[in-house]
A and B are shown apart, each in its own frame.
Chain A
């Protein structure tokens, strides 16, 4: 049986991660309320947004489809850093991350059409950032890379300059924890890694 695998995410990085392990995946842009609710913990927040993204896409699909929604957040001192509003905000965020450890949480949800939840999981990675000089922050922001990324950096790009080490999944920091997603999809019979059939 061929299942359509659909990624409810506008992030090109997530698509690349899944394609890099050989999956064929379609992208449909989701809609979700990406503002934190009152008394929602960071983990609950990411899980809800991941679910809402997948759910928004799942409504219009036929029964042979499986939808993956994901949300990645950067957490420092229990504060959730989203995407920077502008360069000054990016400067502020990078200042918060400088010289210390923070956590990157990616929540993902796998749904069938009509919002039927098959699997939900959250993966956390600790990231240690070195001391950032003001000139480094300024120069990095000038590259434009921070502006569309949660926490104002991308570990897979130029932002690698500031990451001294991580504890946990690397792909989770990029935007999708690949082993965990594959394990879940395999268990659900939606993919077969290194499999002999066409998927």
Chain B
């Protein structure tokens, strides 16, 4: 099956899952994860209408972004979805539309400095460790405190939450983790009204995540194949 047919299929599955949660396909943003994907393939995806790409490494993101910008006329945006290191923040502010994985005060401070210096507000999601065994993410109990600290940073705009559940063969097993993230957002959104987005669900479990309220899904191998 070629790339275009895969994209059609994934979009249809997103649409069906959105309908099952009483929403429309447009309510769910598809981030195509391009880790290990060559620029010529990304360009082809962009020409077919994919317009949001996610990368795990800051420098690789910048390089691919520059190559794609020159190659295609379509407007595309880039999201950073990998482990966020403070010393890589400088590559991201001003280049990416959204950072999905903020989970330290020091990285937040650096984003704030770089964003204010550039005269912008950097949209971020806070990564939450709903699974208990993930390497990154803020513990759910500590989320309110963390959000309070972020609220003081003028250069940082927290627009939602992200989580990465443990891997399961059966995507149904991930459902409680997605539901937990949605509950967290619902409980905290009275206090933090900008907290809207839920970035959750990947190639193996995005339909379950959408049923549980995902507004952003991060899909790589289901579109581009298992490259590595």
Interface residues of A in 62-115 (CB under 8 A from B): 77-83, 85-86, 88-89, 92
Q: Give chain B nearest CB distance to A84 CB in angstroms.
A: 9
Question: Complex formed: what's the CA distance from A92 to B44 in Å?
Answer: 18
Q: Are A88 and B228 interface neighbours, CB within 8 A?
A: no
Residue in A37, A39, A85 with the greatest tally of chain B CB atoms within 10 Å: A85
Cβ-based interface call for A198 (8 A): no
Interface residues of B in 102-134 (CB under 8 A from A): none
Q: Take A79-B36, A81-B38 as given contacts and tell me if A35 and B228 are in contact as well, using a CB distance cutoff of 8 Å.
A: no
Residue in B38, B66, B70, B226 with the greatest tally of chain A CB atoms within 10 Å: B38
Cβ-based interface call for B39 (8 A): yes
Question: Complex formed: what's the CA distance from A33 to B63 in Å?
Answer: 26
**Chain A residue nearest in CB terms to B3:** A35
Q: Give chain A nearest CB distance to B74 CB in angstroms.
A: 15
Q: Are B41 and A36 interface neighbours, CB within 8 A?
A: yes
Q: Are B225 and A88 interface neighbours, CB within 8 A?
A: no
Q: Are A37 and B38 interface neighbours, CB within 8 A?
A: no
Q: Give chain B nearest CB distance to A90 CB in angstroms.
A: 10
Cβ-based interface call for B40 (8 A): yes
Chain A interface size, as a band, is 10 to 19
Q: Take A33-B2, A35-B41 as given contacts and tell me if A86 and B225 are in contact as well, using a CB distance cutoff of 8 Å.
A: no
Number of interface residues of B (CB under 8 A): 21
- Chain A residues with Cβ under 8 A from B228's Cβ? 77-79
Question: Complex formed: what's the CA distance from A37 to B44 in Å?
Answer: 12
Question: Complex formed: what's the CA distance from A82 to B39 in Å?
Answer: 10
**Chain B residue nearest in CB terms to A95:** B63
Q: Are B70 and A86 interface neighbours, CB within 8 A?
A: yes
Q: Are A92 and B41 interface neighbours, CB within 8 A?
A: no
- Chain A residues with Cβ under 8 A from B225's Cβ? 36-40
Q: Which A residues are within 8 Å of any B CB, using their own CB?
A: 33, 35-40, 77-83, 85-86, 88-89, 92
Other A-B contacts than A38-B1, A86-B70, 13 sampled, CB-CB below 8 A, are A33-B2, A35-B40, A38-B225, A39-B226, A40-B225, A77-B36, A77-B228, A78-B36, A79-B36, A85-B39, A85-B40, A89-B67, A92-B63
